[in-house]
């Protein structure tokens, strides 16, 4: 057998799985680096909350635009090659952010980061779908989603801590170095799966259009958009709520993001429970719990707010751990394209969630942010019930 090429006899090893998880974690860590330091960026770069929020929405929008390319690219060129190269380029873009002279430059370089993120996030589930059996896949995808939780936690808490001590530019330098190491690990530990036979980029892209004609897949895409809209709206403008409502500093705000740890528990557990209760049932439970957590965040004390955020995280990652595997198993072919379409909808929802709640914040404060995000979650519940549950 040629080294680095999978065969039917090859079983995934622990180091391979860890490399897949590490790549996912660092992609999300780089993505969320500026979220906890938005008030700091507002002060140092003279930006309003909505303007500083563009450092989040720019990367999310770029991910949404690039995901339809990265998925088919991995179908045609192979998963490992695309993931390792994307993470190497993400490292370079992350380093460049450290030298941004103005806010517009930082926004542009954040968008450049976003172009490379889906080379990892849009391909990892498709890679897992080809390397693991149908029985193992929900557990592994739950682990991938858990890794995304860890990455979001590391990006927010670690990035905020570095920014508080050494400045926001130092956070980008440190995370760029770690991302480069992870890229090397992906190239070394993942196997090179064969490209989809007879399918070029054009054929792979055309195959994605077929997914939009399937109600169950379309419903899953809408669920992803709605849950990420709510998630991004709450956690993007949470730092302003914490700093203005309770006077917390950058380091204290970033520590609140430790509530993400609840997602590390919820994601693998949801993956294991899928076989017992069914994907659409778990999605409904998750979205409902997410909405309850949002409502609790309106409480008048900081402990109640934090408890509400923990509930929100549990609900969000229960649903999010299930939907990508549901998409992979529902798609009958062109699975890279199916995963890419899911991420496109997911990040379009996140883009809107990082912009529109900012306007709500400026108009009516935290209650308006929660109301808008809660409405998005209700739309996800409707899509799950009316489309995903169809025979």
Query: What is the rounded CA–CA span in Å between residue 154 and residue 147?
Result: 10
DSSP 358-385: HHHHHHH-HHHHHHHHHHHHHHHHHHII
Q: Residue 289, Cβ neighbours under 10 Å: how many? A: 21
Domains of the chain in sequence order: 14-388 (1.20.1250.20)
Query: What is the rounded CA–CA span in Å between residue 226 and residue 217?
Result: 14
Structural element, H or E, at residue 161? helix 159-166
Q: Residue 25, Cβ neighbours under 10 Å: how many? A: 24
DSSP 284-327: HHHHHHHHHHHHHTT-SSHHHHHHHHHHHHHHHHHHHHHHHHHH
pLDDT confidence of residue 10: 66
Give the position of tokens 């699975």: 335
Query: What is the rounded CA–CA span in Å between residue 51 and residue 63?
Result: 19
SS3 of 93, please? helix
If the chain, 391 residues long, is cut into consecutive pieces of 10 residues, what is the mean pLDDT of each piece? Answer: 42 81 94 86 84 87 83 77 94 95 93 93 81 76 80 86 88 95 92 63 63 86 93 90 84 84 77 79 93 91 92 90 83 74 86 88 92 95 90 66
pLDDT confidence of residue 278: 84
Query: What is the rounded CA–CA span in Å between residue 55 and residue 114?
Result: 11
Nearest Cα residue to 261 out of 310, 327, 222: 310
Q: What is the CA radius of gyration of the chain?
A: 20
Q: Residue 195, Cβ neighbours under 10 Å: how many? A: 17
Tokens representing 11? Answer: 């079983």
pLDDT confidence of residue 283: 92
Query: What is the rounded CA–CA span in Å between residue 72 and residue 225?
Result: 20
Q: Tell me whether residue 271 is exposed, middle or buried, using C-beta atoms within 10 angstroms of its C-beta: 0 to 12, 13 to 18, 19 or more.
A: buried
Q: Tell me whether residue 258 is exposed, middle or buried, using C-beta atoms within 10 angstroms of its C-beta: 0 to 12, 13 to 18, 19 or more.
A: middle
Query: What is the rounded CA–CA span in Å between residue 238 and residue 236?
Result: 6
Q: Tell me whether residue 46 is exposed, middle or buried, using C-beta atoms within 10 angstroms of its C-beta: 0 to 12, 13 to 18, 19 or more.
A: exposed
pLDDT confidence of residue 201: 55
SS3 of 252, please? helix
> Taking a C-beta distance cutoff of 8 angstroms, is the pair 119, 65 a contact?
no
pLDDT confidence of residue 257: 84
pLDDT confidence of residue 7: 42
82-101 core/surface letters (b: 16 or more CB in 10 A; e: else):
bbbbbbbbbbebbbbbbebe
Query: What is the rounded CA–CA span in Å between residue 142 and residue 136?
Result: 10
pLDDT confidence of residue 199: 53
Contacts of 116 (CB under 8 A, 6+ apart): 66, 86, 87, 89, 90, 93
Query: What is the rounded CA–CA span in Å between residue 84 and residue 132?
Result: 20
pTM of the model: 0.72
DSSP 80-96: HHHHHHHHHHHHHHHHH
């Amino acid at each position: 057998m040629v080294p680095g090429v999978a065969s039917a006899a090859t079983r995934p090893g622990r180091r391979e799985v860890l490399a897949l998880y590490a790549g996912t974690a660092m992609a999300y860590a780089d993505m969320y680096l500026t979220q906890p330091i938005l008030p700091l960026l507002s002060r140092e770069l003279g930006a309003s909350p909505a303007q500083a929020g563009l450092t989040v929405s720019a990367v999310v929008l770029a991910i949404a635009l690039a995901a339809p390319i990265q998925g088919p690219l991995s179908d045609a060129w192979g998963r490992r090659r695309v993931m390792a190269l994307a993470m190497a380029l993400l490292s370079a873009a992350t380093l460049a952010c450290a030298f941004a002279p103005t806010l517009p430059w930082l926004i542009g370089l954040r968008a450049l980061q976003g172009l490379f993120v889906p080379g990892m996030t849009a391909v990892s589930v498709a890679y897992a779908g080809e390397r693991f059996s149908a029985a193992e896949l929900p557990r592994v995808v739950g682990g991938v989603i858990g890794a995304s939780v860890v990455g979001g936690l590391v990006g927010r808490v670690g990035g905020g801590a570095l920014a508080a001590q050494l400045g926001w530019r130092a956070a980008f330098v440190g995370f760029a170095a770690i991302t480069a190491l992870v890229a090397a690990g992906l190239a070394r530990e993942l196997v090179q799966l064969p490209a989809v036979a007879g399918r070029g980029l054009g054929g792979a892209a055309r195959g994605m259009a077929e997914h939009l004609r399937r109600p169950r897949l379309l419903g899953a895409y809408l669920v992803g958009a709605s849950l990420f809209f709510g998630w991004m709206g709450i956690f993007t403008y949470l730092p302003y709520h914490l700093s203005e409502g309770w006077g917390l500093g950058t380091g204290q705000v970033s520590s609140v993001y430790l509530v993400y740890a609840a997602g590390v528990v919820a994601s693998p557990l949801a993956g294991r429970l899928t076989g017992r209760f069914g994907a659409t049932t778990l999605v409904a439970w998750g979205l409902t719990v997410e909405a309850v957590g949002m409502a609790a965040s309106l409480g008048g004390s900081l402990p109640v707010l934090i408890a509400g955020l923990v509930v929100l995280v549990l609900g969000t990652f229960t649903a999010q751990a299930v939907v990508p595997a549901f998409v992979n198993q529902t798609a009958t072919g062109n699975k890279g394209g199916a995963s890419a379409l899911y991420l496109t909808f997911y990040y379009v929802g996140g883009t809107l969630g990082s912009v529109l709640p900012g306007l709500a914040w400026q108009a009516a404060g935290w209650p308006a942010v929660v109301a808008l995000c809660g409405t998005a979650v209700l739309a996800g519940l409707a899509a799950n019930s009316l489309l995903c549950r169809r025979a």
